[in-house]
Structures are given as C-alpha cells and as structure tokens.
Amino acid sequence: MADTKGDVQLSWMTVVAACTVVGLMAAAGWTIFQNEFANVKETAAEDRKQSAIYYNTNREDLIRRETEIKATFNLYLTKDEHRAFLDGVSRDIATLKDRLDTIQRIQESRSSKLARDPVEQKTIDAINQAIDKRIDLMGIITLTKQFP
C-alpha cells in the first residue's frame, strides 16, 4: 500500500515472495549445473568406451599401418636432400636459359641470311618497317583515346 506521501511500503509478504523467487532461481541454476556435469561425465565415459572398442576391433590394422610407416620412413626426403634437389633444378634452369639465349642470338644472325637475294631482303625489311610503323600508330591512337 502507499501512504500519503506516495512511497511504497514493503510488507512481509513482498519480502517472502522475493526471497522465494531468488531461492527458486538459485535452485534451478544449481540443478542445471549439476545435470551438465553429469552429462559431461557420461559422455566422457562413453567416448572412452567407443575408443577402446575401435582400438580392439582395428588393432591388427593399426599395428600393420604403424609397421608400414616405420618401414618406409627412410624413403622420404630430408630437408637437405630437398634443398639439394632444388639447387640442381635451379642450375638446370640457368643452363637452359643460357642455351635459349644462344639459340636466339643465332636465329637473329641468320634471319638476315634467309632471303635468297637482296631484293627479298629489302622486301622483308620494308614489311618489318611497315609493321613497326603500324604498331607505333596504334600506340599513338591508344594514347590519344586515353588522354584526349
């Protein structure tokens, strides 16, 4: 009830009801907490049981796989062996690059000799110059379109 000043008065029934609600909530929390721990224990026990069944069922297969892995362990490369392999591959690539450069230089020197007579050489040179001019013109057109 409210008194004449507008303050709410607490009665013994309100206090008991509030304590009862807090007690019920604490009991419910405790029950849920204990139930979760019981479920965790049951789940862990079931997991251990399943692991033991799996191991006992597949024991021979697991032992065979372990033996195979141990027997073939020396067949794998070590880091040093792999590094040496990569160094060898790098040397091979460098050698191939040198050979390719040599072949390109030889082709460039022979391209002028491919024409059967000087007239054909002049024709080849004229075609190359025309192509170069068109490429330059296309570059200029592209630049003017990009930057008007």
CA angle 122, 126, 132 (to 5 degrees): 145
Domain assignment present for 106: no
- Is the pTM higher than 0.85? The answer reads no
* The pLDDT value given to residue 147: 46
CA dist., res. 120 & res. 115, Å (int): 5
Q: Is 132 helix (H, G, I), strand (E, B) or coil?
A: helix
Per the domain annotation, does 147 fall within a domain? Answer: no
Number of domains in the chain: 1
Residue 98, domain member (yes or no) = no
Q: What is the pLDDT of residue 134?
A: 79
Q: Which of 125, 102, 127, 101 is nearest to 112 (CA)?
A: 125
Half-sphere exposure of 74 (CA within 13 A, CB side): 1
Which residues of the chain register pLDDT less than 70? 1-8, 111-119, 138-148
Whether residue 128 lies inside any domain: the answer is no
Give the pLDDT of residue 143. 52
Determine the pLDDT at residue 4.
Answer: 58
Residue 85 lies in a domain: no
Domain range holding 50? 1-76
